[in-house]
Amino acid sequence: MEKFKHAALDDTVYVLTPQGRVVDLPVGATPIDFAYHVHTELGHRGRGAKVDGVMAPLNTVLRNGQHVEITAVAQGGPSRDWLNPQLGFIRSPSARSRGSSSICERENSFMQPNRRGSLNVTVAPDDMRNTTWSCAPKSDRW
């Protein structure tokens, strides 16, 4: 409980898992950030969230003391929409990195590389320009 009292003084939000474990996230974090913090696979397969027992959109900004529960599918991966900064699904750099690497891995498994051996993927407009990153294929696959 001491963490909650001092939470206003730093750049961290403290939320609770269904089991009551305290999870510290950056200010502005969403249920997707929470899911990736708990476990990478939960982040990949998360499709819904309950915040304080009520269904909430995955881009809901979490506040101190909230109870967060993630609804996950048995199979699947992250949505490309989650990487769009304008939609606000993922705010933390670690969750963004995990989601984008999963998307690259999934796309590399069935797409052919361009002449340079990489896949160019446009994520989303960011400040009126497109943000692009390259998904380099694994060397053992090509």
Q: Hey, is 55 helix, strand or coil?
A: strand
- b/e sequence 59-68, b meaning 16+ C-beta within 10 Å: bbebeeebeb
Position 43, amino acid: G
| Average of per-residue pLDDT across 79-83 | 84
For the record, the structure tokens of 119 come out as 């896949």
Contact 106, 76 (CB under 8 A): no
- Residue of 70 and 137 predicted with greater confidence: 70
pLDDT in tens, 38-55: 998 898 888 999 999 999
The predicted model scores a pTM of 0.71
